């Protein structure tokens, strides 16, 4: 097969883009490589987007996404019928409620890991998002009930403070001079990446990241800690969910 050009990842520059048009560059079975896409293929703990492509009057449900090198493949559901041919143009539309939930959740996890790192010096050892919750593992000895309440309160306070979120790129050499840019215990950045995408929650957190985020912390709404688990001597898990309002917002009679 002729080498394909890299898929233009529209979500990297505009996480709020819901619709787009693209050309089909290659077809492998039921999977399409497009010249550009707003579909996030998954990675870094964030789930892949959901949605559909359209070809004329036909709606082609996207059953899965994968990234191979710099190419993003869109697998079509069986009921979508015959895939489009190379050279045809399609329109895409992501499942916005699901994407926005992922954006809010992802930003909440950055707040969580940023505050835990700055307050307690603990690095991240793993994480995963789900449709209704997320988990993050930390190199910590334990979570007491008082500590959990303190962490939840500090995250919700940062949400209420409405910090803007900036996304930009830096040359790798310049980016790696930033202290604590990598919050995971193991550096997962591939060595062949020369431009590092930075997600900065102004005044709270700054780290390398390839996922989608909201524009400001207020959009997260609020965070509830659902539970904590012991995953090893120095590995503790915290499970959270984003909610529609922070505790003070939800209770108008609470003290500010």
pLDDT digits (tens, 9 = 90+) for 108-157: 999 999 999 999 999 999 999 999 999 999 999 889 999 999 999 999 99
Q: Are residues 110 and 154 in the same domain?
A: yes
Domain boundary residue among 94, 115, 133? 94
Q: What is the pLDDT of residue 250?
A: 40
Residue from 90, 28, 91 nearest 64 by CA: 28
- The residue with tokens 């539309």 is 93
Please report whether residue 151 resides in a domain: yes
- The residue with tokens 């050892």 is 125
Answer yes or no: pTM beyond 0.85: yes
Q: What is the pLDDT of residue 89?
A: 98
Q: Are residues 90 and 106 in the same domain?
A: no
Q: Are residues 116 and 62 in the same domain?
A: no
Radius of gyration of the chain (CA): 20
Q: Are residues 123 and 235 in the same domain?
A: yes
- Residues in the chain predicted with pLDDT less than 70, given as ranges, are 1-2, 180, 182-191, 245-256
Domain boundary residue among 43, 67, 94? 94
Q: Number of folded domains in the chain?
A: 2
What Cα–Cα distance (Å) separates residue 147 from each residue in 5, 120, 141, 142, 152?
Answer: 49, 10, 12, 9, 9
Supply the range of the domain harboring residue 42: 8-94
* Ramachandran angles phi, psi of 38, nearest 5°: -100, -5
Q: What is the pLDDT of residue 188?
A: 56
Domain boundary residue among 94, 116, 132? 94
**Burial profile 102-126: b = 16 or more Cβ within 10 angstroms, e = fewer:** bbbbbbbbbbbbbbbbeeeebbbbe
Please report whether residue 54 resides in a domain: yes
Q: What is the CATH number of the domain that holds 26?
A: 2.40.30.130
* Distance (Å, whole) CA 75 – CA 97: 21
């Amino acid at each position: 097969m002729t080498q394909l050009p890299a898929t233009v990842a529209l979500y990297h520059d505009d996480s709020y883009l819901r619709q787009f048009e693209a050309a089909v560059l290659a077809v492998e079975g039921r999977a399409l490589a497009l010249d550009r896409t707003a579909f996030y293929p998954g990675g870094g703990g964030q789930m892949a987007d959901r949605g559909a492509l359209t070809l004329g009057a036909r709606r082609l449900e996207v059953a899965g996404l994968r990234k191979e090198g710099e190419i993003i493949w869109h697998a079509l559901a069986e009921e979508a019928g015959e895939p489009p041919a190379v050279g045809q143009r399609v329109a895409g539309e992501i499942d916005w409620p699901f994407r926005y939930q992922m954006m809010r959740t992802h930003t909440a996890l950055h707040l969580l890991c940023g505050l835990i790192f700055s307050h307690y010096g603990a690095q991240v050892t793993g994480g995963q998002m789900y449709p209704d919750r997320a988990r993050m593992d930390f190199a910590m000895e334990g979570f007491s009930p008082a500590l959990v309440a303190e962490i939840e309160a500090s995250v919700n306070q940062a949400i209420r403070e409405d910090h803007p979120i900036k996304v930009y790129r830096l040359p790798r050499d310049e980016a790696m001079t930033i202290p604590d840019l990598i919050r995971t215990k193991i550096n997962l950045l591939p060595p062949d990446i020369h431009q590092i995408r930075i997600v900065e929650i102004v005044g709270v957190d700054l780290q390398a990241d390839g996922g989608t985020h909201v524009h400001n912390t207020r959009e997260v709404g609020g965070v509830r800690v659902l539970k904590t688990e012991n995953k090893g001597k120095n590995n503790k898990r915290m499970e959270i969910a984003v909610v529609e309002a922070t505790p003070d917002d939800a209770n108008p009679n609470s003290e500010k």
